[in-house]
Structure 1
Amino acid sequence: MLLNSAEQNTESSVQETHSANVRRSRRTGKELINQFEILRELGEGSFGKVVLCRDVNQQYSRLAMKIIRKFSSKKSSSENKAYLDDIRREVAIMKRLDHPNIVHLYEVIDDPNSDKMYLVMEYLPGGPVLNKDSSSLSEHRCRIYMRDIVMGLEYCHDNGIIHHDLKPENILIGQDGHLRICDFGVSIICRNDDKETVLRGTPPFLAPEVIIRSQTKQPFAGKPVDIWALGITLYMMVFNRAPFKGHQIQETFKLIVHQKLSFPFRLSNELTDFLNKILDKNPDTRINMDEIKVHPWLTNFGQEPFPAKLKGIEITQKELDDAFTSILPLRMVIDVKRRLHKHLLDARDKISRNENRSEQSVTNDTTDNSELNDDQIMDEIISDRSQRDPNLDDQIENNENDWKGGRQNINSSFIRDDKQDPLSSAHNKEINNMQSEIQQANLFNVPQSNLQQQRPDFPNVF
């Protein structure tokens, strides 16, 4: 499936490595993953964590590595499959994106015998464009930063990618001082109609039409939603706070839908006009990307036009399928192994005897299989497949074939269409909560006088 219209790159420049040698450095004692030495943790999320690392083959190289769990023992089988959809889509997108204002992915380390995968990316030492200790930025600095974000976002939109979580936290400052858009975890690859019905993103950055139409599953366009979030991000850079904020999420939703945009202090006429147009609550009259790129505030009255667009990209269904080596067959092995209790104990006893374990060890190892965790079971499966009962292999193979038979349906969910629009697993609970908050907000019966009052900052917004 082709996702752009103009010129296209035909190959990804991202290196793909299918083995992960995880060990400790004898010299420094730090963890090594292939040639990458882990230096310190940069952040952590539901997917795993991001660490700073260095390539030991290049003395001064500093890189960021995103360590992703391929499944979680805390999730159900269906949740893990949906979670893999999210990962697969993010990896496929990042493999193909090649733009100076989007974080660059260098290498994907994906060992089929590992429950983790590793994304090696450029390290952006400047951190987020805003954080809790930031102060307001000057109009001049905001214009420079906005031009970077606009060019990166336009590149995404031109290639059928809706980011869906654009916010200061996901916009990082590179060593060259320019901004990079990152975190495509809830992004979607859309068709030409650009219509969707799923609630995605962070509450204070959601567009009014998303809040209103998601209640009745009415479709809305994706690009204007990103442009609204771009406007919220600019407002926060200028005023160091969000424009619509309440004590609770449902109150924030009411303000987004009903409250009139206001400015804490006077701005230039051009910036005031730009903010009013980009934060227009009506998506049909909201400024679009072509209009943004010729607005007097961003172009300094035409003296600083935007450069020509870069080449388009191509993301095929095969690239989505091959984004990484799925560990689901191994997960299915775990499920089979738990059901076939007797065969498991026999297989583990054979392994234990071959490794000359003590009698006490064997006794401890033959406790109820439900007490074993996934890592222990998986280690045994991978360590010596040759010593398992042949009947067990047959049952495992049948189970894996059953899973593969349904894989087409799973893969089809990576590309959104009108009939199928699955929720992002990583945000499933959060989305359900937001849907509930929207219902409780009773958006269509709100006294306007109550919405004009000043509110304290939203808890997670600067």
Structure 2
Amino acid sequence: MGTGHSARKESFDANGEVNFDHFQILRAIGKGSFGKVCIVQKKDTKKMFAMKYMNKNMCVRKDAILNVLREVEIMRTLDHPFLVNLWFTFEDEEDMFVVVDLLLGGDLRYHMQQEVDFTDTHVKLYLCEIALALDYLRSRNIVHRDIKPDNILLDEEGHAHITDFNIATTLATGELATSMSGTKPYMAPEVFACSLEESRGYGYPVDWWSMGVSAFELLKGRRPYEIHGSTTLTEVKALFHTSKVHYPSLCDNGMKDLLRQLLEVDPVQRLSTLAGFKRHPFMADTDLDSVLRKEVKPVFVPSKDHLNCDPTYELEEMIIETKPLHKKKKRLAKQNSRKGEMMSQSSTEEMDELQIYLKSIGKNFTPYNREKSLEEQERKKLADLESEKETTESDEPVKQTTVSVEPEKQTIEAETTEPS
């Protein structure tokens, strides 16, 4: 008689360390210079995630390992409703894997290209959600440095989430960043000034400037300054001091003034804190606590009929990619079998190159598991509650028992002294 359970052996250890075998690869949805992103489903929980995978050898050759390690290190410390949060990291012979929240609403750049008509109402909520996320990052001493429509993802309901911490940095108290990092059209004036050696550095206000540029672009269809990758530093400097910004004519005056304060060239005068953002008259009718709880519903809800991304990513992965992810397991198994060892010779060389580099910088790509961390937190919380309960129950009753027992003792003594 059957037991009703499948006799098929699972291809992964559900209780072991999370690795590539724990996920089912569904489809590719994006790519970077040395990494790609695909939708995956965790086999044991059936939860969906986005998985970014980066070729180790390519990262070493492009001198990108430190960026990857810093990004993962930063993301491990973060957990916020308007960020794309980290869930797992692991590696195999070829790649490093970073698994994060899956947001199926697409990025704001995609929706701009689809000619969505963004209004004050749309953009106001995005500004609130991003401002809350930036305030949280500041509380963690983190500057993102690459806020732009491409790095703002929408979930299925239309809420905004900041993604891509590849060039983010952490600032100690009183410290300033100095490197020219970011995407030129969205970089704040003080970043360029620092590169021209006209300032000591820059801090958190750069992200608020970038948010202002992104909001302006959503409303007007173009950026406030004509800055491109080829624009020189001196040309950029001249633009900030000579160009007159023409704010979207159909905008509410309150929105225009908010944009003006976000796009203030002087970082000291710029609106760059959540407290200042709350005080702005345009925010008077908005409860940011409700926004944080996602109780304020977005006007624009992304389509659920199709994936909100460029479909060519999937074609490239299936047709052009020389080492497609969905064939990784068979490829590695074939290599192992042919070589009679755990890795192919080429993979071993790649791994050796990476390990030599990691050893030289004294760092490593270590595994991370948010599920396990949350379970441990929950167990600790329950243990603390149980301990608190036991402590409460052990207090006071001893005194009450002493009081009730003492009269009884006196009665017994009185009875024993009475004559028979």
Does TM, normalized by the shorter one, top 0.5?
yes
Offset at 1:69? 2.2
CA distance in 2, matches of 1:16, 1:189: 34
Does structure 2 retain, via aligned residues, the 8 Å contact 1:102–1:180? yes
2:24 equivalent to 1:37 = yes
Of 249, 259, 265, the residue aligned with 2:231 is: 249
**Where do 1:72-221 residues align within 5 Å?**
72=58, 75=61, 80=63, 83-111=64-92, 114-131=93-110, 132-216=113-197, 218-221=199-202
CA distance in 2, matches of 1:66, 1:296: 41
- Three-state SS of the structure 1 residue aligned to 2:74 is helix
Offset at 1:220? 2.2
Of 270, 276, 281, the residue aligned with 1:296 is: 281
CA distance in 2, matches of 1:240, 1:212: 27
Query: Cα–Cα, structure 1 residues 218 and 69, in superposed 2: closer, same or farther, change >3 Å?
Result: farther
Query: Cα–Cα, structure 1 residues 101 and 403, in superposed 2: closer, same or farther, change >3 Å?
Result: closer
Does structure 1 retain, via aligned residues, the 8 Å contact 2:59–2:65? no
2:4 equivalent to 1:50 = no
Query: Cα–Cα, structure 1 residues 57 and 298, in superposed 2: closer, same or farther, change >3 Å?
Result: same
Does structure 2 retain, via aligned residues, the 8 Å contact 1:299–1:305? no
Offset at 1:243? 1.0
Query: Cα–Cα, structure 1 residues 234 and 264, in superposed 2: closer, same or farther, change >3 Å?
Result: closer
- Which amino acid is the alignment partner of residue 38 of structure 1? I
- Could you say which residue in structure 2 is the equivalent of 1:239? 220
Offset at 1:159? 0.6
Offset at 1:211? 1.2
2:345 equivalent to 1:376 = yes
Offset at 1:179? 1.1
- Which amino acid is the alignment partner of residue 63 of structure 1? F
CA distance in 1, matches of 2:188, 2:216: 14
CA distance in 2, matches of 1:380, 1:219: 43
Offset at 1:376? 3.1
CA distance in 2, matches of 1:16, 1:261: 58
- Structure 1 length normalisation: TM-score? 0.58
- Three-state SS of the structure 1 residue aligned to 2:164 is coil
The RMSD of aligned alpha carbons is: 3.5
- Which amino acid is the alignment partner of residue 255 of structure 2? L
CA distance in 1, matches of 2:213, 2:15: 37
2:51 equivalent to 1:70 = no
Does structure 2 retain, via aligned residues, the 8 Å contact 1:167–1:229? yes
Query: Cα–Cα, structure 1 residues 177 and 223, in superposed 2: closer, same or farther, change >3 Å?
Result: same
- Which amino acid is the alignment partner of residue 141 of structure 1? H
CA distance in 1, matches of 2:94, 2:339: 26
- Could you say which residue in structure 2 is the equivalent of 1:262? 246
CA distance in 2, matches of 1:215, 1:52: 42
Equivalences, count: 300
Gaps spanning 5+ residues in structure 1: where? 1-14, 21-32, 311-350, 356-373, 386-395, 412-462
Offset at 1:237? 1.7
CA distance in 2, matches of 1:127, 1:16: 33
Offset at 1:135? 3.2
Does structure 2 retain, via aligned residues, the 8 Å contact 1:50–1:64? yes
Offset at 1:403? 7.6
Cα deviation digits, residues 124-143 of structure 1 (max 9, x gap):
11111233223341111111
- Three-state SS of the structure 2 residue aligned to 1:40 is strand
- Three-state SS of the structure 2 residue aligned to 1:144 is helix
Query: Cα–Cα, structure 1 residues 130 and 377, in superposed 2: closer, same or farther, change >3 Å?
Result: closer
Does structure 1 retain, via aligned residues, the 8 Å contact 2:190–2:202? no
- Which amino acid is the alignment partner of residue 258 of structure 1? T
- Three-state SS of the structure 1 residue aligned to 2:41 is strand
Does structure 2 retain, via aligned residues, the 8 Å contact 1:63–1:123? yes
Looking at both structures, which has the greater relative contact order when contacts are Cα pairs under 8 Å and sequence separation is at least 6?
A: 1
CA distance in 2, matches of 1:146, 1:175: 18
- Could you say which residue in structure 2 is the equivalent of 1:223? 204
CA distance in 1, matches of 2:152, 2:82: 9
Cα deviation digits, residues 74-128 of structure 1 (max 9, x gap):
82xxx63xx22111110011111000000122211234xx231111111111111
Offset at 1:47? 3.0
Query: Cα–Cα, structure 1 residues 73 and 184, in superposed 2: closer, same or farther, change >3 Å?
Result: closer
- Three-state SS of the structure 2 residue aligned to 1:52 is strand
Cα deviation digits, residues 21-46 of structure 1 (max 9, x gap):
xxxxxxxxxxxx31211111111111
Does structure 1 retain, via aligned residues, the 8 Å contact 2:40–2:48? yes
- Three-state SS of the structure 2 residue aligned to 1:242 is coil
- Three-state SS of the structure 2 residue aligned to 1:220 is coil
CA distance in 1, matches of 2:245, 2:30: 33
- Which amino acid is the alignment partner of residue 361 of structure 2? R
CA distance in 1, matches of 2:149, 2:16: 32
CA distance in 2, matches of 1:262, 1:48: 38
- Which amino acid is the alignment partner of residue 231 of structure 2? I
Does structure 2 retain, via aligned residues, the 8 Å contact 1:196–1:220? yes
